RNA sequence: GGUCCGUUCAUCUAAGGGUUAGGAUUCAAGAUUUUCAUUCUUGCCAUAGGGGUUCGAAUCCCCUACGGACUGCCA
């Protein structure tokens, strides 16, 4: 058996921003392609004109680029199997649908959406569920129930119609899913899906199968929500006579909400305080903003690493993977079958890990723009030195400010609890003495400051904690931060003294 | 309702008939830090329930329960 080239596709619909479940699907496709030296394509499934959202496709593309999942082929990425937008392939789908009608695998349906809505409503009122299937098609308005003459007449008179798949009766369709193993459906339970809509566009089912065939896709790796339509797709390949070359299927488990029931949805981010989208998304309709991992300060490598481990593992204790390591280790066999609850805490932990791996200089480059946005001028050397001191208390670049703002500006407020606990009657006098001492120090460097400080303290016989804690309060505004003398050194002699005197004055 | 898929610590997961059921996150405690955080150490915590098969079951089979997806001229 000759080995077909591995070709996989990520086929989102541009109906809104890509959410993290979609990114994970793209990631697994990408890893599978890279692992096997194959191609990763992006195909835009925009066959539903009513749901088209401007900007969604650009969002998808930008998200994939941010994540490092750059397609080998796709709109704007080149490739010889294009076009890669289904709307641009529109002209070819009808003949495929027509081919199925001619071969008896499909039929014309004249029932209007309104007719069907009514039937569904009636069935529901009767406590039943309406399905357009082998039981009901004989009594509905279609080319199976009508005479050939009537059908012909309706078509030539320009009556709109859809083309439906004629689901075979009582046939077992079994497929070896690459993740789930053998899955069997009986066609008796399946309905006659629309393949071609009355608006001249194919449905997902038709377009998907036709395009996967034409684009020579070898493996369809998609979300579990598609599992129920797998038998239809398999039958379509059979109906077209493409069974020999048809792709293999792998259905990925879903990503579930951190708490509560159901799969992760767009709104969960706002409700539970974490992004569900890779990038910030401004909804063009409502103007509403949805937060993104990028804007929330996550590194793409952390985001990808987290996503990769949501439903997959290498079979070892390794949890930190570069993209190269993911490619090397990836296999569909090691994808878990059950849905995974998303864990925002673990995601934060991954980000922390990647941040800690970066040098102070790298972080400084990322942090400088934040300082500039606050109109704070700081020497790059100082920023690097500050980050060196506080990096290990940060999970995000923005935490550098949270954890170290006092290196760049005098505290505006003093933590009340700390004041209550550390500020004693003798404190003002002691601090004033300290300010005076600091004025005499010639070499303003942590070691020297500490030496002078200690000598002075010993001479006075003061309690170290009794002075150091209030001193820290003056400089940082609270009971936190790295080594006190490093803080003194970094903020400078003049500023240190000025902050002491200011605090003494304000706190009293 | 129907069809299909699933079920190991709170969470992500390992263990593919024989392990004290392992790792990570979270949480808790101790050590370090004359502060806070970090770091380190330790700890807590799981095979949904019931039947089989077997010398032996988290692992294989059946039933139940629970969870999920789908059930559109959406994808």
Q: Is the pLDDT of residue A272 over 90?
A: no
The 10s digit of each residue's pLDDT in A323-339 is 999 999 999 999 999 99
Q: What is d(CA A95, CA A99) in angstroms, rounded to the nearest whole number? A: 6
Torsional sign, CA A277, A281, A285, A288: positive
Residue A147 reports pLDDT greater than 80: yes
* A402-436 residue pLDDT tens: 999 999 999 999 999 899 989 999 999 999 999 99
Task: Classify strands A248-252 and A255-256 as parallel, antiparallel or unpaired.
Answer: unpaired
Eight-state DSSP code of residue A164: E
Q: Which of residues 85-124 of A touch strand B (CB under 7 A)?
A: 109-113, 116, 120
pLDDT at site A3: 63
Residue A284: CB less than 7 A from any atom in strand B: no
Which one has a higher pLDDT value, A124 or A220? A220
Q: Is the pLDDT of residue A2 over 50?
A: no
Long-range contacts of A59-63 (CB under 8 A, 24+ apart): A59/A17, A59/A18, A59/A279, A59/A281, A60/A12, A60/A14, A60/A18, A62/A279, A63/A17, A63/A18, A63/A23, A63/A277, A63/A278, A63/A279
Give pLDDT tens digits for A464-473: 999 999 999 9
Task: For residue A508, name the pLDDT band (cuts at 50, 70, 90).
Answer: confident
Task: Classify A251 as helix, strand or coil.
Answer: strand
- Strand B: which residues 208-267 of A lie within 7 A (CB)? 224-229, 253-254, 256, 261-263
Residue A273 has pLDDT above 90, yes or no: no
pLDDT band at A262 (very low <50, low <70, confident <90, very high): confident
| Tokens 């980000």 sit on residue | A351
For chain A, count helices (H), then strands (E): 20, 13
Task: Report the range of poorest mean pLDDT among A1-5, A179-183, A185-189, A224-228.
Answer: A1-5
The SS3 assignment for A271 reads helix
What average pLDDT does range A222-248 have in this prediction? 97
Radius of gyration for the alpha carbons in chain A, expressed in angstroms and rounded: 32
CA distances (Å), A3 to each of A7, A209, A370, in order?
Answer: 12, 21, 52
| The two structure tokens encoding residue A283 | 């909804």
Catalytic residue among A266, A358, A382, A450: A266
Query: Tell me, in Å, how far CA of A112 is from C1' of B56?
Result: 63
Which band of pLDDT confidence, cut at 50, 70 and 90, is reported for residue A289?
Answer: very high
Does residue A1 surpass a pLDDT of 70? Answer: no
Res. A267 pLDDT band, cuts 50 70 90: confident
Q: What is the mean pLDDT of chain A?
A: 95
Asked if residue A483 keeps its beta carbon closer than 7 A to nucleic acid strand B, the reply is: yes
In chain A, positions 335-374 with C-beta closer than 7 Å to nucleic chain B are 336-341, 343, 345-346, 349
The separation, in Å, between residue A262 CA and nucleotide B18 C1' comes to 38
pLDDT in tens, A35-91: 999 999 999 999 998 999 999 999 999 999 999 999 999 999 999 998 999 999 999
A184-213 residue pLDDT tens = 999 999 999 999 999 999 999 999 999 999
Position A260 confidence tier, pLDDT thresholds 50, 70, 90: confident
pLDDT at A269: 83
Q: What is the pLDDT of residues A352-389, one digit of tens each?
A: 999 999 999 999 999 999 999 999 999 999 999 999 99
Write down the pLDDT at residue A263: 87
A457 touches strand B (CB under 7 A): yes
Q: Which helix (H) or strand (E) holds A305?
A: helix A300-308
A176: pLDDT strictly greater than 90: yes
Q: Which domains, and CATH codes, for chain A?
A: 7-78+212-256 (3.40.50.620), 91-196 (3.90.800.10), 268-354 (1.10.1160.10), 358-407 (1.10.8), 416-507 (1.10.10.350)
A253 CA to B67 C1', in Å?
13
CA(A295)–C1'(B40) in Å? 34
pLDDT > 90? residue A118: yes
Q: Is the pLDDT of residue A244 over 60?
A: yes
Q: Protein A400 CA to nucleic acid B69 C1', in Å? A: 43
Comparing A261 with A252, the larger pLDDT belongs to A252
Phi, psi of A104 (to 5 degrees): 85, 5
């Amino acid at each position: 058996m000759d080995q077909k080239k591995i070709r996989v596709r990520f086929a989102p619909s541009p109906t809104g921003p890509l959410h993290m479940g979609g990114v994970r699907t793209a990631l697994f496709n990408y890893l599978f392609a890279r692992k096997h030296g194959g191609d990763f394509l992006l195909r835009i499934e925009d066959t539903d004109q009513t749901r088209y959202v401007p900007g969604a496709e650009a969002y998808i593309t930008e998200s994939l680029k941010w994540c490092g999942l750059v397609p080998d082929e796709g709109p704007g990425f080149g490739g010889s199997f294009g076009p890669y937008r289904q709307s641009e392939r529109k002209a070819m789908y009808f003949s495929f649908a027509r081919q199925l009608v001619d071969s008896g695998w499909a039929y014309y349906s004249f029932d209007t959406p309104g007719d069907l809505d009514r039937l569904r409503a009636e069935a529901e009122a009767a406590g039943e569920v309406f399905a357009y299937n082998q039981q009901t098609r004989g009594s509905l308005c279609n080319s199976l129930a009508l005479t050939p003459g009537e059908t012909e007449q309706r078509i030539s008179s320009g009556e709109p119609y859809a083309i439906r798949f004629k689901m075979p009766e009582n046939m077992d369709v079994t497929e070896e899913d690459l993740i789930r193993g053998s899955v069997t459906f009986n066609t008796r339970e399946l309905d006659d899906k629309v393949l071609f809509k009355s608006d001249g566009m194919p449905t997902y089912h038709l377009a998907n199968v036709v395009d996967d065939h034409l684009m020579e896709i070898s493996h369809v790796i998609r979300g579990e929500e598609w599992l129920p339509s797998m038998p239809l797709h398999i039958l379509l390949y059979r109906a077209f006579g493409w069974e020999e070359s048809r792709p293999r299927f792998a259905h990925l488990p879903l990503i579930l909400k951190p708490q509560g029931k159901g799969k992760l949805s767009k709104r969960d981010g706002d409700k539970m305080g974490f992004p569900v989208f890779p990038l910030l998304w401004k909804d063009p309709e409502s103007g509403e903003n949805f937060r993104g991992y990028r804007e929330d300060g996550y590194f793409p490598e952390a985001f990808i690493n987290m996503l990769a481990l949501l439903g997959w593992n290498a079979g070892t204790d390794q949890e930190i993977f570069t993209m190269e390591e993911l490619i090397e280790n990836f296999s569909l066999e090691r994808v878990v079958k059950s849905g995974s609850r998303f864990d925002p805490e673990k995601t934060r932990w991954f980000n922390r890990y990647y941040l800690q791996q970066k040098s102070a200089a790298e972080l400084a480059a990322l942090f400088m723009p934040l300082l500039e946005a606050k109109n704070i001028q700081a020497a790059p050397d100082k920023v690097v030195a500050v980050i060196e001191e506080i990096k290990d208390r940060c999970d995000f670049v923005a935490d550098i400010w949270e954890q170290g703002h006092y290196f760049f500006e005098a505290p505006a407020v003093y933590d009340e609890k700390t004041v209550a606990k550390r500020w004693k009657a003798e404190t003002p006098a002691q601090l004033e003495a300290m300010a005076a001492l600091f004025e005499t120090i010639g070499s303003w460097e942590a070691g020297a400051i500490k030496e002078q400080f200690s000598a002075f303290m010993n001479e006075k016989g003061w309690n170290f904690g009794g002075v150091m804690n209030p001193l820290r309060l003056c400089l940082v505004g609270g009971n936190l931060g790295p080594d006190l003398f490093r803080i003194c050194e970094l903020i400078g002699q003049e500023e240190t003294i000025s902050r002491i005197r200011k605090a003494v004055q304000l706190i009293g």
